[in-house]
Amino acid sequence: VSTQLSEVVGVIERHLEPTLLAVHLYGSAVDGGLKPHSDIDLLVTVTVRLDETTRRALINDLLETSASPGESEILRAVEVTIVVHDDIIPWRYPAKRELQFGEWQRNDILAGIFEPATIDIDLAILLTKAREHSVALVGPAAEELFDPVPEQDLFEALNETLTLWNSPPDWAGDERNVVLTWLGLALLWLVTQLPYPVLLGLGRVLGTVMRHTASG
């Protein structure tokens, strides 16, 4: 993992170094330990927006450092989220994401389709996770760089997440990630005192997913 992580950070620095403020490793790598199919999760903060040439070159190079879970004995799946400092500091909800790279985009990337910057409610959850458990590979610690996300914004983001999983077609083929997301949010509840009704709703989603998977 350390070799792959160094390669990924090297790609990020090569393309973004003039504007790079921070790179934070978060997720299972620093909170609970990497499992066989765990992603390497990185949060990158820059000072300015990416031009299209940089966006495409960076994503294409990241593609070479990542592999879908179970497809490589050497590489793990890599997920990179990039934010512009002034888009999230001071904090506002919902916040804007400059770029996200992940294995689910591989076919689109190979077809020349690149996701643009977009509003992302999940940044409230991601930044909370990074402030609670992360390692700064470049720049200051996350709790020093990022404002705390207000509880109301976090709860709203979690409720929005629930609306994405209403029926089997919403999670078909993605059951593993739904389960992992629920477990991660349950742990987040222990830290933030997430309202019990929200956690209960997440539990209902998990139970439905598990029953559907077992029967199908």
Are 120 and 16 in contact by the 8 Å Cβ rule? The answer is no
Write out the CATH class of domain 1-148.
alpha beta
Cis before 36 (ω within 30): no
Each residue's pLDDT tens digit, 68-80: 988 999 999 999 9
Give the start-to-end residue ranges of the domains of the chain.
1-148, 150-216
Q: Which residues contact 144 (CB under 8 A, 6 or more apart)?
A: none
Active-site hit among 79, 98, 115, 160: 79
Give the mean pLDDT of the chain.
84
Question: pLDDT-derived band of residue 55, with 50, 70 and 90 as boundaries?
Answer: very high
Q: Which of these ranges, 39-48, 112-121, 156-165, has the smallest mean pLDDT?
A: 156-165
- DSSP letter at 158 equals H
79 is catalytic: yes
Question: pLDDT-derived band of residue 211, with 50, 70 and 90 as boundaries?
Answer: very low
DSSP string, 29-98: GTTT---TT--EEEEEEESSPPPHHHHHHHHHHHHTT---TTS-SSPPPEEEEEEEHHHHSS--SSEEES
**What is the spatial distance between Cα 122 and Cα 60, in angstroms, rounded to a whole number?**
24
Question: pLDDT-derived band of residue 215, with 50, 70 and 90 as boundaries?
Answer: very low
Each residue's pLDDT tens digit, 148-165: 999 889 888 877 876 765
